[in-house]
Amino acid sequence: MVRLFLLLSILLLTACDNNSAPPPQQQPTFGDKPSESIVEYSFGVHPLHNPKQLLDIYGPLVDYLNQHLTGIVLKLEASRNYAVFEEKLYSRQFAFALPNPYQTIESESKGYRIFGKMSDDENFRGIILVRKDSGIQVVADLKGKKISYPAPTAVAAAMLPQYYLHTHGLDVNKDVENVYAGSQESSIMNVYLKTTVAGATWPIPWKNFQKDQPDKVKELEVKWETTNLPNNALVVRDDIAPEIVSKVAELLFTLHTQPAGQAILARIPVSKLEVAQHETYEPTRTFLKTFATTVRPIVP
């Protein structure tokens, strides 16, 4: 009788334990299609703008690409200055990138391939800004003064302007103090704030500055413009599958044919993106050789 009582007690306790810990709920599943793994690829854009503006302008482009791609997703990556971007690019951290022409040529030796570019080459030129009240009239007036640029490796906004000054009688290594401000906007703002007497940039950042800072623009003027070179390139790392590159390239090169794409391009602003290859940048290679031998060494 005692054994029976103990057995019944054990059974009752076991039942209580089971009731106090109900089995976990099963989560519902939908459909019979197996889930696909999504591969992420970074898309780096060189510092055409400060990081926030760059994300605002190029974010819609990457969003558009992701809406039309399957199996992969692109992640836009901004860098706070040219040096950081170049470190990432040359260490192959980007799958896709939009570097400037100098960075483009350097990236080829790191295993990147040129597959496209921004159009409107006539806009890839340097402009030199001064304040309207600066009294600067001719290049010689800049002697002994400070001039701002985004970075030493900026082609349109540093090398082309410095080459222009060089060909107009100014030794940029001795006659002026070069201030590398880190971004296009910073180069412009240095002039506005009178930190520098002149500042270099190129038409796209200047147009955006005119739109965003109309009150400040009233006090500035474009004093000189340089000749132009092929515009910024699109490059891809050599380990990215050709079919993926083809999908991305097709979307990029047809943007201008779609209303949504036209709106995206207008924000940059550029009329379209187009096919390019190694040979496209031969004029840039020639210029860089001339610049390095006659103006200054090209170092970050």
5-29 confidence digits (pLDDT tens)? 433 343 444 444 444 444 443 333 3
Res. 3 pLDDT band, cuts 50 70 90: very low
The CATH number for 193's domain is 3.40.190.10
116 and 235: one domain?
yes
Axis-axis angle for helices 101-108, 282-294 (nearest 10):
100
**Does residue 91 fall inside a structural domain?**
yes
d(CA 23, CA 133): 79
Total number of domains constituting the chain: 2
d(CA 45, CA 250): 19
211 and 132: one domain?
yes
- pLDDT for 53 equals 87
- pLDDT for 10 equals 39
How much is the mean pLDDT over the chain? Answer: 90
Q: What whole-number percentage of the chain has pLDDT above 70?
A: 88
- pLDDT for 9 equals 43
Given a contact cutoff of 8 angstroms between Cβ atoms, the answer to whether 107 and 157 are in contact is no
70-79 confidence digits (pLDDT tens)? 999 999 999 9
Q: What whole-number percentage of the chain has pLDDT above 90?
A: 83
**Stretch 159-169: mean pLDDT, rounded?**
99
- pLDDT for 133 equals 98
Given a contact cutoff of 8 angstroms between Cβ atoms, the answer to whether 258 and 122 are in contact is no
Res. 36 pLDDT band, cuts 50 70 90: low
- pLDDT for 96 equals 99
**Does residue 1 fall inside a structural domain?**
no
Least confidently predicted of 82-86, 127-131, 218-222: 82-86
Q: Where are the alpha helices (DSSP H) in the chain?
A: 2-20, 51-68, 82-90, 101-108, 160-167, 184-192, 203-212, 214-217, 242-253, 259-267, 282-294
**Stretch 206-232: mean pLDDT, rounded?**
97
Query: Of 179, 199, 228, at which residue does a domain stop?
Result: 228
Checking if the pLDDT of 276 tops 70, the result is yes
**Stretch 24-47: mean pLDDT, rounded?**
65
pTM: 0.85
Query: Of 172, 201, 228, at which residue does a domain stop?
Result: 228
The amino acid sitting at 227 is T
Distances (CA, A) of 296 to 81, 104, 134, 153, 174: 21, 20, 27, 11, 11
Checking if the pLDDT of 1 tops 70, the result is no
Res. 198 pLDDT band, cuts 50 70 90: very high
**Stretch 208-212: mean pLDDT, rounded?**
93
Res. 50 pLDDT band, cuts 50 70 90: confident
d(CA 183, CA 172): 20
Q: Which domain holds residue 254?
A: 40-122+231-294
224-249 confidence digits (pLDDT tens)? 999 999 999 999 999 999 999 999 99
118 and 237: one domain?
yes
